[in-house]
Chains A and B, each alone.
Chain A
Amino acid sequence: MVLLRSIDEITVEVAETVALKSNMLKHALEESNPEQFIPLPNITGEVMFKIVDYMTKQTEFESKKPQEIVEKSPELEGDVAKAKEALKAWEQTVATWEVAYMDVSMNMLYDLFLGANFMDLQGLLSLCAEKIASLIKGKTVKEIRKTFNIVNDFTPEEEADYVKKYEWAFTD
């Protein structure tokens, strides 16, 4: 088992197979004492549990992934088709779970994104990036700044230049 501790001193135990999903934990485990807690300095307890939830579920999904049969002879043709169907159904299950998982508040999304980056969890990082991108699509500049609480750090002259060049990005 692997022991993790969040910035607000909350701890959790995670199976080693699950922990290895995170590249950061993989390296940390090579160097640390198994009795010690691995600190997650940038991550609160709530976010830590959410990330552990992701890693646990992904490990579970991986173990249930249907095998793909490589077609070797005509007799196996029916099996190949069935294997393809099973794989498709599995992918659908994973996708449905991911959509529900990513239904989070803006603050959680931000923390999750940073957490996934810190822990080097490629799958979760991509999911977060996709979710954030989906919140950008179709919005004007002002709407994007408002959604994500981003400060406009352009000078008025720079801003005016952009309005001129990309006028259509500013209009509703």
Chain B
Amino acid sequence: MNYLPEGVVELILSQLKNARDIASSTCVSKQWQSCVPYVPSLYFPRAVFDYSQRGNNKGSDYDATIGRMIAEAIRLEELVIYCPFNPSNLGTWLNLRADTLRVLELRMDGFGDKPGPDGSGTQLDCIRVAKRLELLKIWGVSLTAAPKWGVLKQLKSLEIVGATVRDGVLEEVVHASPNLVNLVLLSCEGAGLVKFELGRLERCRLDFLGQGNIALFLSAPRLEDLYVQGFSSIWVKPNHRIKTLSIAKNHGRVYNVEMGKLAEVQSLYLRGIQWSWGAISSVLQYASDVTHLTMKVEFCGNSETLLPFPEVDLVNFFNSHPKLLKFDIHGAMFASFCQKNSLAKVNSNFVIPCLEEVSVIVRSALNAEQKLNALESLLTHTPKLRKMVIRVSQMKNCNEAADDFFEEVCKFRLMNHRVVCVE
């Protein structure tokens, strides 16, 4: 392999990203060394300098190495730094490659909003020089002060994971990146209100920690995928293109969801400990054309008191969601189908036309007879049903009634074994 033609070594080295591999390649031979300046990616993993046997951690030496490698990679497009580094050096590094850098990923270890090297602004301000940046991902950052990025016109994807934020800061960050197509904010905390408007946004994932009430106001006419966790009040400007929607609140309550007609929605996931019934019913109403529905909300109610779901008429429900193909029903929703009058309208003309798969989680043996009746109804009136999975988990009342119920469920399964299975 001593006599490889021009461009061929470059092609090989362009497959490498790990900084250690690139450093090794630099020292192999003169031909390899001459190709290293053209590597498009540099990735410094968390433990990349742990190989060094220099004894004590010489952070400044490592930063010097990072700086040298960035300086040598004259066509660098992608820079990923997961190892510890001094944020004051970031500006110098980014200035070197401002013309070529398209992807930047940094692990900040809690830095971010401290003053920059010249004593003013924040440590993240220097990102503004990377005008060609298309993807920016930052881990573990403190955003209690908004970085001054000017306008990053080319930025299409922004991901921030593990951030402490303050109200208004996110709005400024988003304002600096008006052409975002993808926005991900995970494991963020500190905000009470998240509000922004993005004309080109198509995918959005927001995960905010904490039990409190956080409100979301979002305007994004091209939005197709929306996943939110942690918000108690959600307002999305109507006339969007949402196809996949997931709303969850792992702690606390969801009070209010307003998003206008979900005309294009195909998949809908609702999760949480407690939602107000008004919020649940309005979302279900907006999503009348949904094909895949997962309901995993445990209780409803607008206050501290956890309430079961009110009675839901089975026929009305399925008539209002005629395109349902797949339905995952958690205990609380299923129990609402099993009330006294839930099956009142069921007659021989009733059909659930498209349903192919149903998954039911049953938590208690309460209303056992109605539960079995509901299961029977689902089976009888669903001509296309291929699979019904019944998960009997964590039975709350471990007594004879529970055992009897379980026996009945097993009988039901035996009678319909081609379609029903119990887990």
A residues neighboring B (CB under 8 Å): 74, 77, 110, 113-114, 117, 125-126, 129-130, 132-133, 136-141, 144-145, 148-154, 159, 162-163, 165-172
Q: How far is the CB of A62 from chain B (nearest CB, A)?
A: 23
CB pair A169 B24 closer than 8 Å: yes
**B12 in contact (CB, < 8 A):** yes
List the one stretch of B25-33, B202-210, B212-220, B331-339 in contact with chain A.
Answer: B25-33
Question: Would you mind naming 6 contact pairs between A and B with Cβ atoms under 8 Å apart?
Answer: A113-B8, A132-B15, A150-B28, A159-B27, A169-B23, A170-B24
Q: How far is the CB of B224 from chain A (nearest CB, A)?
A: 12
A162 to B423 alpha-carbon distance, docked (Å): 62
Q: Collect the chain B residues with CB atoms within 8 Å of residue A163's CB.
A: 27
A101 to B266 alpha-carbon distance, docked (Å): 41
> Which B residues from 1 to 29 make CB contacts under 8 A with A?
1-2, 4-5, 8, 11-16, 18, 20-21, 23-29
Q: Collect the chain B residues with CB atoms within 8 Å of residue A110's CB.
A: 1
Q: Collect the chain B residues with CB atoms within 8 Å of residue A137's CB.
A: 16, 18, 21
**B53 in contact (CB, < 8 A):** yes
Q: Collect the chain A residues with CB atoms within 8 Å of residue B29's CB.
A: 145, 150-154
CB pair A169 B15 closer than 8 Å: no
**B399 in contact (CB, < 8 A):** no
Q: How far is the CB of B386 from chain A (nearest CB, A)?
A: 13
A126 to B51 alpha-carbon distance, docked (Å): 31
Q: How far is the CB of B13 from chain A (nearest CB, A)?
A: 8
CB pair A136 B30 closer than 8 Å: no
A160 to B277 alpha-carbon distance, docked (Å): 73
Q: Collect the chain A residues with CB atoms within 8 Å of residue B32's CB.
A: 150
Q: Collect the chain A residues with CB atoms within 8 Å of residue B49's CB.
A: 168
Knowing A110-B1, A171-B51, say if A133 contacts B26 (CB, 8 Å).
no
Knowing A117-B8, A166-B23, say if A133 contacts B30 (CB, 8 Å).
no
Q: Collect the chain A residues with CB atoms within 8 Å of residue B20's CB.
A: 168-169
Looking at chain A's contact residues, is the secondary structure mostly helix, strand, loop, or mixed?
A: helix
Q: Looking at the complex, which one of B4, B15, B27, B68 makes contact with A130 (CB distance below 8 Å)? A: B15
Nearest chain B residue, comparing its CB with the CB of A143? B24
Q: How far is the CB of A126 from chain B (nearest CB, A)?
A: 8
A94 to B49 alpha-carbon distance, docked (Å): 38
Knowing A150-B1, A151-B2, say if A144 contacts B28 (CB, 8 Å).
yes
Q: Collect the chain A residues with CB atoms within 8 Å of residue B21's CB.
A: 136-139
Q: How far is the CB of B47 from chain A (nearest CB, A)?
A: 11
A117 to B1 alpha-carbon distance, docked (Å): 14
Q: Collect the chain B residues with CB atoms within 8 Å of residue A74's CB.
A: 289
Q: Collect the chain B residues with CB atoms within 8 Å of residue A132's CB.
A: 12, 15
Q: Looking at the complex, which one of B4, B5, B24 makes contact with A144 (CB distance below 8 Å)? A: B24
Q: Collect the chain A residues with CB atoms within 8 Å of residue B8's CB.
A: 113-114, 117, 129
A154 to B266 alpha-carbon distance, docked (Å): 62
**B250 in contact (CB, < 8 A):** no
> Which B residues from 288 to 327 make CB contacts under 8 A with A?
289, 291
Q: Looking at the complex, which one of B11, B12, B53, B291 makes contact with A77 (CB distance below 8 Å)? A: B291
A152 to B49 alpha-carbon distance, docked (Å): 25
A148 to B23 alpha-carbon distance, docked (Å): 17
Q: Collect the chain A residues with CB atoms within 8 Å of residue B51's CB.
A: 168, 171-172
Q: Collect the chain B residues with CB atoms within 8 Å of residue A145's CB.
A: 28-29
**B120 in contact (CB, < 8 A):** no
Q: Collect the chain A residues with CB atoms within 8 Å of residue B25's CB.
A: 136, 144
Q: How far is the CB of A116 from chain B (nearest CB, A)?
A: 9
CB pair B24 A139 closer than 8 Å: yes
**B396 in contact (CB, < 8 A):** no
Q: Looking at the complex, which one of B12, B18, B27, B54 makes contact with A129 (CB distance below 8 Å)? A: B12
CB pair B11 A125 closer than 8 Å: yes
A145 to B1 alpha-carbon distance, docked (Å): 9
Q: How far is the CB of B350 from chain A (nearest CB, A)?
A: 23
CB pair A141 B24 closer than 8 Å: yes
CB pair B2 A170 closer than 8 Å: no
A169 to B27 alpha-carbon distance, docked (Å): 8
Q: Which 8 A-B pairs have the closest CB atoms?
A: A133-B15, A169-B23, A148-B1, A166-B23, A169-B24, A162-B27, A168-B51, A141-B27
Q: Collect the chain B residues with CB atoms within 8 Å of residue A165's CB.
A: 65, 68
CB pair A168 B11 closer than 8 Å: no
Q: Looking at the complex, which one of B28, B52, B68, B266 makes contact with A141 (CB distance below 8 Å)? A: B28
Q: Collect the chain B residues with CB atoms within 8 Å of residue A117's CB.
A: 5, 8
Q: Collect the chain A residues with CB atoms within 8 Å of residue B266's CB.
A: 77
Q: Collect the chain B residues with CB atoms within 8 Å of residue A152's CB.
A: 28-29
Q: Collect the chain B residues with CB atoms within 8 Å of residue A166's CB.
A: 23-24, 26-27, 65
